[in-house]
């Protein structure tokens, strides 16, 4: 369903097909907020991209260089045809006390924070690239755009938006009813995404 199709469903749920209570901007803004929240909580939006290795670079700023970057999922070294193993700072120190300056083909990655991901060893030359799989924030929707939410869970956007708009006109009881529906549907979406992010699934993406 496109954004405009979903807003039409929201209008029907609100019994406001004539726009007596809510403008088009009200509907679109509320739906976008619902989409933003659903994508953030469930982490349902995933993508991947080739990133060139940079000589002697350990820390990669994915928050700046990757579109709508939320967090890392996995990294595949296209030079060696091997997955990098996720680890921690302590894990890297245990492997190599001078891990930050050791060069070679990358074997491990460490998600430092919401911005940086470190790789070890770091490449000595800017040769080849890595395939980076990551979660994304929601994109800004236009009328013909389809939200990146599975079809079986798309009702979460309707429920959240209706709850939000009813709350704005102080229909608190009805708003709470839709909010409860949204939380049930959001939990189902998050559960489906958790099942989806397994090693065999990620391998199929490559």
Q: What is the pLDDT of residues 116-174, one digit of tens each?
A: 999 999 999 999 999 999 999 999 999 999 999 999 999 999 999 999 999 999 999 99
Q: Which of 12, 3, 69 is nearest to 34 (CA)?
A: 3
* Residue linked to tokens 């019994």: 15
Locus of tokens 């924070």: 113
Q: What is the mean pLDDT of residues 41-61?
A: 97
Has residue 107 got a pLDDT over 90?
Answer: yes
Mapped onto helix, strand or coil, the DSSP state of residue 145 is coil
C-alpha 114/C-alpha 69 separation (Å) is 9
CB 190 within 8 A of CB 135: no
Distance CA 42, CA 147 (A): 13
**Mean pLDDT in residue range 5-16:** 95
The answer to whether residue 187 scores a pLDDT higher than 70 is yes
Question: Residue 106 carries which DSSP code?
Answer: -
Looking at residue 18, its pLDDT comes to 86
What was the pLDDT predicted at 197? 59
Name the pLDDT band for 198 (thresholds 50, 70, 90). low
Banded model confidence at residue 19, pLDDT cuts 50, 70, 90: confident
**Neighbour tally for 72: CB within 10 Å:** 21
Instruction: State the Cα–Cα distance between residues 188 and 10, nearest whole angstrom.
Output: 20
Q: What is the pLDDT of residue 195?
A: 81
Residue with more model confidence, 196 or 89: 89
**What is the crossing angle of helices 24-42 and 3-14, to 10°?**
110
Alpha helices for the chain (secondary structure H): 3-14, 24-42, 62-65, 89-95, 155-168, 172-196, 199-205
pLDDT of residue 10: 97
Confidence of residue 194 (pLDDT cuts 50, 70, 90): confident
Higher pLDDT, 92 or 199: 92
Number of continuous H segments (helices) and E segments (strands) in the chain:
7, 8
Query: Strand 82-83 vs strand 85-86: parallel, antiparallel, or unpaired?
Result: unpaired
pLDDT for residue 205 is more than 80? no
Residue 202 predicted with pLDDT over 70 = no
Rounded to whole angstroms, the Cα distance separating 199 from 203 reads 6
């Amino acid at each position: 369903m496109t954004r405009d199709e979903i807003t039409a469903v929201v209008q029907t749920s609100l019994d406001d097909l004539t726009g007596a209570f809510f403008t088009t901007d009200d509907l679109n803004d509320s739906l976008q907020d619902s989409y933003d929240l659903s994508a953030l909580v469930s982490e349902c939006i995933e993508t991947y991209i080739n990133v060139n290795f940079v000589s002697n670079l350990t820390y990669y700023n994915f928050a700046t260089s990757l579109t709508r970057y939320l967090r890392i999922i996995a990294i595949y070294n296209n030079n060696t045809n091997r997955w990098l193993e996720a680890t921690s700072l302590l894990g890297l120190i245990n492997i190599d006390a001078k891990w930050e300056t050791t060069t070679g083909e990358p074997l491990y990655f460490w998600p430092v924070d919401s911005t940086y991901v470190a790789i070890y060893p770091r490449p000595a030359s800017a040769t080849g690239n890595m395939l980076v799989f990551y979660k994304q924030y929601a994109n800004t929707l236009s009328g013909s755009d389809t939200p990146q939410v599975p079809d079986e869970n798309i009702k979460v956007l309707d429920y959240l938006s209706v709850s939000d708009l009813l709350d704005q006109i102080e229909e608190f009881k009805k708003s709470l009813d839709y909010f409860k529906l949204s939380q049930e549907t959001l939990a189902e979406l998050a559960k489906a995404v958790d099942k989806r992010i397994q090693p065999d699934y990620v391998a199929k993406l490559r």
